[in-house]
Amino acid sequence: MVKVSRVLTTAILALTVLASCASVLSTDESADEATRSEQMDDREPSYEPESPEDEPPVIGQEESPDAVPPDDGDPVPHDFFEDHVGAAVSVLPPDAFDGIPDDAMELHEPLILESLSFDDERMNGNMRRQRADRLAALRLAEMTLEEQIGQMIMPAYIFDAASRPVRSVTEFMRTEIADVQPGGIILFGQNIGDPQQTRGFVDHLQTLTAVPLFIATDQEGGLVSRLTQSTAMPATRFPSARLIGRTGEVDYAYRVGQAIGSEMRALGINMNLAPVADVQTNPRNTVIGSRAFGADPEIVAEMVVQMVRGLQSEYILSVVKHFPGHGDSDEDSHVERVVLLHDRERLSAVELVPFRHAISAGVDGIMSAHIDLPNIFGSDLPVTLNRTALEGLLRSEMGFEGLVITDSLVMEAVTGRFSGAELAVASVEAGSDILLQPRNAVIARDAIRDAVLSGRLSSRRIQESAHRILAAKYRSGVFEPDRWLPEDQSALGSEQHRLLVEEIRAAAQ
């Protein structure tokens, strides 16, 4: 009876604290590797050899102003939320805690934090980040090791056992997702039909996991445009990055990012594996080609920053790629090993420039490339499996604190040399947070778990990635879909977006 009384008292107190907190905060600033039941392509669909686009010749470009990172407000003390919990509690009657265990107030912290939405105008950027970090820590503490590892896996379900495109949840998917509890799903063009089917598919996927999913796709515009592969989808066919770059106007990159984001949002897709931050310095490069904004590192950097911001303005997480730069290769990592012989001076002066700008602008994620740079990192390991590249260069030297995502783990540049289990473990060892499209999600999960149990990986290493993933979900609103999902799908192929495309084509003449 005493326990029941305490629970009831705690519940009532929590509601009181929430109401009090609102007034206190009102003054603050704002399967075997070769087989599995579901068949999947060994090559990522739709990354096909470059074919010439109908684009105007290159013309002179005016110098664009430097991108300025947003002002997130004053730094927030580490104990910001503790102070507000204490302030909220202080207005309660003196006897409010009678009969409640001393540690019961710990129960109220998540309730108070969750009372502040991710887009609450009373919080500045630092406050939002701290709220997300605290909520992620609370959620992480309740998760098992396997659940934490699950957050790091982002499988694809492209074809079913009969080689038909997957456009609804299959029994195999239901079983595997229930087992692995992945942190996200990547959609390809084969998964996307008409608006109602796509939104229904995404909504159904979101019911299959305890933690809301990243629903990701590659919506770059130009050649790589998942939303426009089906004739039943009225999404806008946005121009390539190359065409946007030729305008010399960074505002177009922002507006296209915003427009792409609004169309993705209408379908319930919350992560874009775009834009491409590669600098296209090799005219023989067919894997990047028109997907890059150009050959000038500074212009590419400005365009990348603005497209990232445009996507984020529509609550879409942006993942720039392919770190540390795939623009000077002759080979295609989808089908073969890629080796670049650059030295560090060249890499810093060219390839890394857009990534530095994107990090400064607060990009959500960075995708690693399956390319070898032996003169820089001292080994023949691809960057995706190279700790010196990811933990050393990207995190320690460049200061990136967001999500590190592998490129697809079914690409020949890595599958030709490593098993699926080894790819999973080595990617985590190197510093990856999310494993994109492992050939078998269960094998990847089990391999990472076994590596922890054997001591090859530490449980702390898993917790670091799981925390980053959960925090990104809280920070971007993935946990609060009702706040960012539109009721209608009028953004898809809207007149405003069509006119934007025409304007860009005219400006590029």
pLDDT of 461: 98
Selection from 369, 385, 386 nearest residue 377 by Cα: 386
pLDDT reading at 397 higher than 90: yes
329 in Cβ contact with 340 (< 8 Å): yes
Residue-wise pLDDT tens digits, 274-287? 999 999 988 887 78
Q: What residues pair up with 321 in beta bridges, in sequence order?
A: 276
Q: Which of 38-47, 115-124, 392-401 has the lowest mean pLDDT?
A: 38-47
pLDDT of 228: 97
Higher per-residue confidence, 404 vs 21: 404
pLDDT reading at 52 higher than 70: no
pLDDT reading at 147 higher than 70: yes
3-state secondary structure (DSSP) of residue 15: helix
Long-range Cβ pairs for the range 498-504 (8 Å, 24+): 498/236, 500/252, 500/255, 500/256, 500/259, 501/236, 501/237, 501/238, 501/239, 503/252, 504/239, 504/243, 504/244, 504/247, 504/252, 504/256
Spatial neighbors of 119 by CB under 8 A, at least 6 apart, are 477, 483, 484
375 in Cβ contact with 341 (< 8 Å): yes
**Token pair listed for 425:** 């473990």
pLDDT reading at 13 higher than 60: no
Percent of the chain scoring above 70 in pLDDT: 76
pLDDT of 321: 96
pLDDT of 139: 94
pLDDT of 40: 43
DSSP-derived letter for residue 190 is G
**Token pair listed for 237:** 């066919």
Q: Which of 73-77, 196-200, 276-280 has the lowest mean pLDDT?
A: 73-77
Q: Share the mean pLDDT of the chain.
A: 83
Residue with token string 């009657």: 93
pLDDT reading at 42 higher than 60: no
- Mean pLDDT (whole number) for 441-446: 98
- Residue 110 confidence class, pLDDT cut points 50, 70, 90: low
Question: What's the rounded Cα separation, in Å, for the pair 269 and 261?
Answer: 9
Residue with token string 């309740």: 142
42 in Cβ contact with 415 (< 8 Å): yes
**Token pair listed for 476:** 């971007």
Residue-wise pLDDT tens digits, 367-380? 999 999 999 998 88
pLDDT of 121: 80
Cα torsion angle, 329, 333, 336, 338, sign: positive
pLDDT reading at 164 higher than 90: yes
Give backbone dihedrals phi and psi of 466, rounded to 5 degrees, phi first: -60, -40
pLDDT reading at 68 higher than 60: no
b or e along 53-82 (b: 16 or more beta carbons within 10 Å of the residue's beta carbon)?
Answer: eebeeeeeeeebeebeeeeeeeebeeebbe
| Positions marked catalytic | 334, 407
pLDDT reading at 216 higher than 90: yes
Give backbone dihedrals phi and psi of 184, rounded to 5 degrees, phi first: -165, 170
Residue-wise pLDDT tens digits, 292-342? 999 999 999 999 999 999 999 999 999 999 999 988 776 666 755 677 888
Q: What is the pTM of this model?
A: 0.82
Higher per-residue confidence, 67 vs 481: 481
H/E stretch holding 219 reads strand 219-221
Selection from 251, 224, 250, 249 nearest residue 238 by Cα: 224
pLDDT reading at 36 higher than 70: no
pLDDT of 328: 75
Residues in the chain: 509
Number of Cβ within 10 Å of residue 175's Cβ equals: 12
- Start-to-end CA span in the chain (Å): 78
Selection from 64, 482, 477, 470 nearest residue 294 by Cα: 64
Apex CA 276: angle with CA 432 and CA 68, to 5°?
A: 95
Selection from 145, 118, 107, 143 nearest residue 18 by Cα: 107
pLDDT reading at 167 higher than 70: yes
Selection from 470, 464, 406, 466 nearest residue 435 by Cα: 406
pLDDT of 107: 53
Number of Cβ within 10 Å of residue 436's Cβ equals: 26
Apex CA 158: angle with CA 286 and CA 256, to 5°?
A: 55
The DSSP string of 275-337 is -B------TT--SSGGGSS-S-HHHHHHHHHHHHHHHHTTT-EEEEEEET--TT-SS-TTTS-
pLDDT of 231: 96
pLDDT of 270: 98
**Token pair listed for 410:** 């079914």
- Residue 462 confidence class, pLDDT cut points 50, 70, 90: very high
pLDDT of 117: 87
pLDDT of 7: 38
Residue-wise pLDDT tens digits, 466-476? 999 999 999 99
pLDDT of 43: 40
* Alpha helices (runs of H) in 209-249, residue ranges in sequence order: 241-247
Residue-wise pLDDT tens digits, 24-34? 343 333 344 43
pLDDT reading at 103 higher than 70: no
pLDDT of 336: 57
pLDDT of 189: 98
Higher per-residue confidence, 72 vs 439: 439
pLDDT reading at 447 higher than 90: yes
